[in-house]
Amino acid sequence: MALNLQALLNAPIIELDSIDSTNNYAMQLIDADTAQEGMTIVTEEQTSGKGQRGKKWQDEPGQSVLMSLIVHPQYDLDRQFCFNMCISLAIADVLQEIYENWDIRIKWPNDIIINDKKAGGILIENVIRGNEWVYSVVGFGMNVMQDSFGGELPFATSLYIESGKQYNISNLISSIRTRVFTYLANNLPQQKLERLYNEVLYRKDQPQRFLIGQNEFIATVAGVTPNGLLHLQMPDGNVVNYNHGAVEWLWG
């Protein structure tokens, strides 16, 4: 059964002043059987925000988009990356419309890059029971009004830094929520999602430094497969595919 866009948009929005993690809160609702499809959790501050690969997402109170969406994916389990592509593309679309001069890219698998720096990150956590993909919790954090970052985050940026403009965080949340739900309800063909994703893939067709264990190497980013594997072309011309988590991206 296709997703009902209006039902998603009409679902409750839970607004919190502070929480450990909006994804944790969403998961608690699912565990308690009180979750509703389209339900959105937003907060001004996360005390233990989650990032990819177990990293902590850092934010300043009231200066970031911090949100989680609860949805029931309309995909088979073997097409989980299609869902990821929908989310990433929807957010990239919103940002490109906000400021057309930005160079918006998606860094595999789902970081949001503005002008070669990370502005946001997506963390998708799935609830699978047996063979049924019951829920996905889509967590998204984006730097909005920060005017600087410490030396520990030399490749981080915010919407304000990249434009010199101020943005209403509530309006951004509404726009992102609407666009994500619209993408999901439209159920775009897999080939189209793959094409759109690779068109905005960060460092596509460019050499990039990577790390596996203690071994650093340079390879050209050739693209991403429909099931989410990263295509890397090695200096000898061979193309090798990597799962998320198997290879670490090195900045700079």
The pLDDT of residue 52 is 45
Q: What is the CATH number of domain 207-249?
A: 2.30.30
Q: What is the CATH number of domain 5-199?
A: 3.30.930.10
How does pLDDT run across 3-26, given as a tens digit for each residue?
A: 899 999 999 999 999 999 999 999
What global pTM score does this model have? 0.93
How does pLDDT run across 155-195, given as a tens digit for each residue?
A: 999 999 999 999 999 999 999 999 999 999 998 999 999 99
How does pLDDT run across 82-104, given as a tens digit for each residue?
A: 999 999 999 999 999 999 999 99
Q: Is the pLDDT of residue 27 over 50?
A: yes
Percentage of the chain modeled with pLDDT above 70: 94
Which two three-digit tokens encode residue 165? 């403009």
The pLDDT of residue 114 is 98
What is the spatial order of strands in the sheet that 40-43 belongs to? 13-16, 40-43, 64-71, 132-143, 117-129, 111-114, 104-107
How does pLDDT run across 203-237, given as a tens digit for each residue?
A: 999 999 999 999 999 999 999 998 999 999 999 99
The pLDDT of residue 59 is 60
The rounded distance, in Å, linking the Cα atoms of 92 and 125 is: 20
Query: Per-domain residue ranges for the chain?
Result: 5-199, 207-249
